Amino acid sequence: MTERAYLDHNATSPLRPVARAAMISALDQPANASSVHAEGRAARARIELAREKVASLAGVEPQAVTFTSGATEANALALSPELEIDGEAVRLDVLLVSAVDHPSVRAGGRFSAERIETIPVDSDGIVDLAAVDTMLAKHSAAGRRALVSVMAANNETGVVQPLRDIAKRVHEAAGVFHTDAVQIAGRLPFNLENSGADLISISSHKLGGPLGVGALIARGENIRAAPLLRGGGQEFGRRAGTENAPAIAGFGAAASQAALDVGNESLRLLKLRDRAEAGVRDVAEDAVLLAKNANRLPNTVCFAVPGIAAETAIIAFDLEAVSLSAGAACSSGKTGVSETLKAMQVAPELAKGAMRLSLGWNTSEVDVARFLDVWKRVYESLGKRAKERAA
């Protein structure tokens, strides 16, 4: 049986051995971390050790980390019109989100639809800073305070946003800045302080940890969102519910390993990404590399060929044991053009063919070679048909 080449790390990165080991150890000693007996204290110790590891990845103190069920919950928790900052209640009047953000951010959290505005992007998917200035100035002049949320790196194209430039503008307008850092954490050197953000969301399973756990991380303990889940006093009163100690332990282990490897890994993945991109163009001169002029993650390639439907190509790759995505995994099974590519004003017919390969901690040169070998056959078959239809 042919070994599969898994090139869909932006959807989910396979579980790292260190994360698996941490989870198994926690599963072998089940207990409620709120219990005061020895088993409960052991579970609490695992959670707090994991909190330290996740905090280290983000460059913050452990108390700034709130564990959640994933980044979607973390985003919903952050996007609140009511925050507590330095012990005082703060009312945020509007939410500004980028046009290329994750659906869980564009949904607006606890802001009503009429209080959400979209920040446009350019043809490479980079936030329009002049538009940010204009929007913030308009609301400041009207006495409105803004919460701004812009993802650190796009899950489809890999485009990295100028976070510090955005943060500077937001803070000058007395606003609050949140970033969905799911795709950048562990793939490029990144921390909350350098990003300029007040709040960041990260996810375990993008780092090689388990599914179903993530974190909202604040700038110190001075920013606090009203809880989404109320009940017990878990997570410093910020998120009720018995903590999933095994998953959190796996998250901590994966975060620690990702932080340790990030420097060398980013360089290794960049070489593999560049090889994949060059190979795509060598086979198909008409292939379009999307967002190729932007600063991007070292692990992400988004490309399309006129006339080739992504869904058909992805099935062809799958049949030859190569796993890619057509757009974002959270939108799989839905028809229509990616909202990210719409915002970038990519022609609809080209956008329908957009394919993404995303590399990760266990991607090898053999995996990329296999992708390129299969790509030759896929293009020879589907590309020929597309040219015949066009003729």
What positions carry a catalytic annotation?
A: 330
Closest Cα to residue 66, out of 256, 262, 253, 219? 219
Angle between helices 38-58 and 245-283 (to 10 degrees): 30
Phi, psi of 278 (to 5 degrees): -65, -40
Give the span between the Cα atoms of 265 and 268, in whole angstroms.
5
Sign of the Cα pseudo-torsion (70, 55, 80, 235, in order)? positive
Phi, psi of 56 (to 5 degrees): -65, -40
Q: Say how far residue 28 (Cα) sits from the centre of its chain.
A: 31
Contact between 77 and 202 under an 8 Å Cβ cutoff? The reply is: no
Contact between 245 and 234 under an 8 Å Cβ cutoff? The reply is: no
